Each structure stands twice: as structure tokens, then as C-alpha cells.
Chains A and B, each alone.
Chain A
Amino acid sequence: MTNAKHSSPSILDHSLHWRWAVPLLIALAALPLIAVALGGDFYITLASRILIFALAATSLNFILGFGGMVSFGHAAFIGLGAYTVAIAMQEGMVNAWIAWPLAMVVSGVFALVIGAISLRTQGVYFIMITLAFAQMLYFLVVSLKAYGGDDGLSMAGRSFVAPGLDLARDRDFYYVTLALVSASVWGVARLLNARFGHTLQAIRENEVRMIAIGFPVYRFKLVAFTLAGALAGLAGALMANLGGFVSPSLMQWSQSGMLMIMVILGGVGYLYGGLLGAVFFLLLEELLSHYTIHWQLGLGAVLLLVVLVAPNGLASLVARKKGAAHG
């Protein structure tokens, strides 16, 4: 479950690698121009969607890959964030500066409570208890008839960010998303390279030893779990805005599973793991569904191939090459 053996210089080094990050950011910033040239806002929306999932997967990777906490209920926090924004809008709160942080707080608080209980268990039991809480929240939302229940809740429009910036325009929405996702990934990188992140990874490597030398392990894990929940809440807030619609299916266990698939695919415990996984998974899905309605057959085959060929995810392939170049 850990990645102690890959060949990067230090397993605690999770820097952004500006050499890659800057060109990547420039490319992402230029993407709407390219998309328009290729003929369509469709690609901008797709890119926004991929970025949002990248954020969600990164937040899961933060606790799963770096904290060793295999949470099978991460979609619940995304759904909570999405519902917070949608309900706030229904009640007349369209200002993103209030609604989005509120979404993060709501998801964070739920993550705090759920984490406080779940973190008493370990291993497979932790997987199952986080799933249990997510399912409870799912059925709770289904029963919220005042806010659509089963049918979901349509939003009047997208949130308001600033005058002159209209989220209803796909390009504006994309840039806001890009800014938030970049800032989040940067923040996660900062956290991972700080004392907090190093402690978290040490706990992942050997929890008993960390307890023995006096670290408040439970508290560290709980803080990480809460932070990840809040970030997932932000992803949910963006997701609600992207689709203009929220429904309980956002919180279904299969959504949690898909996020986990993205993380494993991209690389558990690699800074860019969540991003890579989301890009690969969603692009492949998009591509295959153009050719055949039975695209899941192809997607499944590719996933199977990846897990057999690259046991530590796609990011490990890059890291291995880099390590070879160094060595």
C-alpha cells in the first residue's frame, strides 16, 4: 500500500517541479484559445470537468496516498459541498465568496466528525466504515424532498464571483476553476513538504513507531482527513456550478470508487497522481465513447493493463524514467 520503493531521490520530496508545472500551467491557460480554434466550447467544459475531478482526486490522494487512509466515502464530501452551494442558491445566496467557503466548511465539519469515529478502525474496516457513513449521507440526501430528493435539485444559475467575470460563460468558469485547482495543488504540495506532511507520511510508513515516539498520530490523521474533506467540498461546489444541477448520485458509492480508481491509476502517493488519473480516465472515457457505445469494455481493458504493467500508477512510470536518468 506504500510507495517506499520507487526511485525518486527522497520519498518525502513532493515539490511541484517548476520545470514541468510552469509549462503545464501555461498550456492549461492557453487551452480555451486552442479549443475555440478547434471549434467548440465543448472542450472547455470537458477541461473544466477534468480539472474538478483532478482536484477531487488530489484531495483523496492526500489522505490515501500520503496518509495511508483508504477512504471509500470521499464522494460524500463532494456531494455535501455541491448540495451546500445548490441549497444556498435556492435560498437566494448566489455569492461564491460566501457559498464556496461555506461548502468547504460544511464538508470539513462532516469530515471531522466522520473521521473522528472512523479513524478508530484500521485497514479494511476503515474502508468499510467510511463507506457506511457515505451511504448514510447518501440516503439522507435522497430523503431531502424539500431539495429535490431522488430527482436532484436544479440551480437557477452559476455563482457570482466578481463583476465582469461571468461564470455562465464557459471560458470564465474554466479560468476560475483552473485558478482554484492550481492553488489547491500548490497548497497540497506546500503542506506535503512541510513538517505536517512529513509527519503524515511517517505515520503512513510506520504508525506504531510514530505513536511510540510520542506523536499525536490520531490528531494528525484527523486534521488531514478534515482538510481533504474540505478540499473535496470545494470540488463539489465547482461541480454543482459546472452542471447547474445536483443529485444524490454525486454521493453514490460508485463515485467514491471512481475517485479511488483515478488515484490508483494516476499514482498513489504522487503529487500529480490525482491529476494524471483524472485526465487519463476521463479523456479515455471521452475518446472511447466517441467510437463505440461499449466503451466500458475498452476502458476496463486499459485499466486492467495499466494495473498489470504499472503497479504504482502512471506517475510511477514517469518517476521511474526520471530516476533512471538520474542514476
Chain B
Amino acid sequence: MDPILLLEQAFNGLQFGLMLFLLAAGLTLVFGIMDMINLAHGSLYMVGAYLIAAITAATGSYWWGLCFGVLGAAVFGALLEVSILRHFYQRDHLSQVLGTFAILMMCNEGVRLIWGAQPVPLSTPDSLAGPVELFPGFFYSSFSLFIIGVGLLVALLMYLLITRTRLGMQIRAGAANREMAMAMGVNVQRLFTAVFAVGAALCGIAGGMLGPILAVQVGMGESILIVAFVVIVIGGIGSIRGAFLGALIVGVMDTAGRTFMPMLFAHLMSPEAAANAAPAVASILIYLLMATVLFFKPRGLFPTHG
């Protein structure tokens, strides 16, 4: 097999995996600490992407857009937590599903109301438009490299935040044993708002990174939300390390499946049958992975609580 192609796919997988991690990190913290199913998490990603697109269009600079869009997403997340989501912590999972689904609907419609039903343009900044030659014969998109860099940097910052700061300590305590953390005097309310703001900011970053590659449109949050849920379930709910490794596994596996399945199938069957079956099997892969993981390790790969 072509080593260049293999390397390229590894980079693509890493890129997708890191972006998934940004989404999964906030989702798993909210899930792990507050035991809350938040279907509106994808909406933060969407709102972030729209804000970035709008500010980029207004200022003419992607960097200003990214900067203030992420900030805006964080503020939006915090406001959502303070105004609505807070009322759902003490409720059962089903109420949370209904409540956050309602928020998801309203976010979708609100965005459609403000920006219209058509996708909003957001392109890569000129400075990162072209490919770079990583070593002789291997060209790779500089924007994708930038995404990988940002993803790794954010993952590192998250790691430092979680392991080295007071806030991180409280988050870890909350994820491991919420009641005990509350009993030990953690300011739960402030912690929850902070976690939400951080999660929303991460969503915003992912929105700004993936926006130019995929599309900034209504409903962009839903499909990726399901994948993010798959990631945190594979990784083990509440575990940041699990989310990170789960995201990389899912990202690489999904990317590799989409590239190599058609090749594999082309060897095994008629071209027509392969063209039909390969994409379906590639899409199924991550769900198959999740079902397999849950079958053997019902609490995910890196469960947080004993």
C-alpha cells in the first residue's frame, strides 16, 4: 500500500479525532459531573461556528472571528446554563433529554431566523490556504496541520487545567464522586457554570476549525453530536483521558474506513457492489466498535468510577 496515502490518512484521522475530542470533552464533563444528558451540546458547536462565520465576514479576518466567536460561544454556554440547564440537574435523564432537545430545536430555529436557511460561507484564512511540503514528496494542507496543532495544544491545556489547577481538581472530584465533592465544600454552582463555559468554548473552537471544511449550516451539530456521544461511551463516561483516546480511535477508524473500505471491497466483489456496500460498512464501523466495546467492557475503556 502507498505509504504516502497511509500517512495522509493517519493525519486526517488525527485531525478528525482531535476535533471530536473538543466536542466530547465538554460533553463527558457535563455527563460525568452532573449526570446530565445534554442533547444541546451540538448546538453550542453550531452557534460557535455561526458566530465565527459572522464575525469573520464583518471584520474580514478569520482570526478575529475565531477569537470572538469562541468567546461568544463560551458566553452563550454560560448563559444557557444559568438560565435553563441549571433546572435540569436534579431531574431524571428522560426530562433532560426532552428539555435539551427543546433547546436544540430552538437553537436551530433561532440560527435559521438570524442567518437564514442557506449555509453560511466560512473559508480558510489566506495564510493557511495552500498545502505545505512536510518532507520531499508529501504535501499536506496547511489548514489541516493548523487544526492538528490547535487540537493538540487545546488537549495539552485541558490536561494542565484538569491536573494542575484548583478548578481542575474540583472537576475531577466532581466527576469521581459528585456528592462527596459537594460535601467537601466545592462551590458547585460556580463549578457547573465554569464547566459549561469551558465546554462551550471547546465546541466553539471545533466549530471554527471544522466550519471551513464541512459546512456552517443549520443542523450541523446533530450528526457530530451522535459521534461525540459514541466517543464518550467508548472512552468511559466522565473520563477526559477516555474522551481523548476514544476520540482518536474513532477519528482514525472512521477516516481509515472511508478510505480503505472501498479499496478492500473492490478486491472482494464486483465494482458496482463494492461502490454500494463500502460506504455503508465504513459508516457502520464506529457503531460496530461501540457495540463491541460495550459488549466486553460495559462501562467503556477507561471508566472513572470504581
Question: What residues of chain A have their CB less than 8 Å away from a CB belonging to chain B?
Answer: 1, 64, 70, 117, 120-122, 124-125, 128-129, 131-133, 135-136, 139-140, 142-143, 145, 149, 253-254, 257, 260-261, 264-265, 268, 294-297, 299-301, 303-304, 306-308, 311
Contact = CB atoms under 8 A, between A and B. Distances in A.
B212 interface: no
B106 A301 contact: yes
A324 to B, nearest CB: 23
Interface of B: 31, 37, 39, 84, 87, 91-95, 97-99, 101-106, 108-110, 112-113, 222, 226, 229-230, 233, 237, 276-277, 279-281, 283-284, 287-288, 290-291, 294-295, 298-300
10 contacts: A117-B295, A132-B230, A132-B291, A132-B294, A140-B284, A257-B97, A268-B94, A297-B113, A300-B109, A308-B87
B101 A125 contact: no
Given A120-B295, A136-B288, A264 B109 contact: no
Contacts of B229: 128, 131
B94 A297 contact: no
B295 A303 contact: no
A254 B101 CA distance: 10
A261 B287 CA distance: 23
B177 to A, nearest CB: 17
Contact of A143 (B109, B112, B279): B279
Nearest to B233: A128
Given A131-B226, A143-B277, A297-B113, A303 B98 contact: yes
A253 B226 contact: yes
A117 B291 contact: yes
Contacts of B113: 294, 297
B290 A301 contact: no
Contact of A299 (B105, B222, B230): B105
Contacts of A264: 94-95, 97-98
Contact of B276 (A136, A149, A296, A311): A149
Report whether over half of chain B's contact residues are helix, strand or loop; otherwise say mixed. Answer: helix
A296 B106 contact: yes
Contacts of B91: 311
Nearest to A130: B291
A156 to B, nearest CB: 24
Given A128-B229, A132-B230, A261 B298 contact: no
A301 B102 contact: yes
A282 B121 CA distance: 34
A102 B250 CA distance: 37
Contact of B95 (A64, A297, A307): A307
A133 B287 CA distance: 7
A306 B105 CA distance: 15
Contacts of B112: 294
Given A142-B279, A142-B280, 13 more contacts: A121-B298, A125-B300, A128-B229, A128-B294, A133-B291, A136-B288, A140-B284, A294-B112, A300-B102, A300-B106, A300-B109, A301-B106, A303-B105
A311 B287 contact: no
Nearest to B219: A254
A254 B222 contact: yes
A164 to B, nearest CB: 43
Nearest to A72: B97
Most buried by B among A254, A265, A295: A254
A58 to B, nearest CB: 16
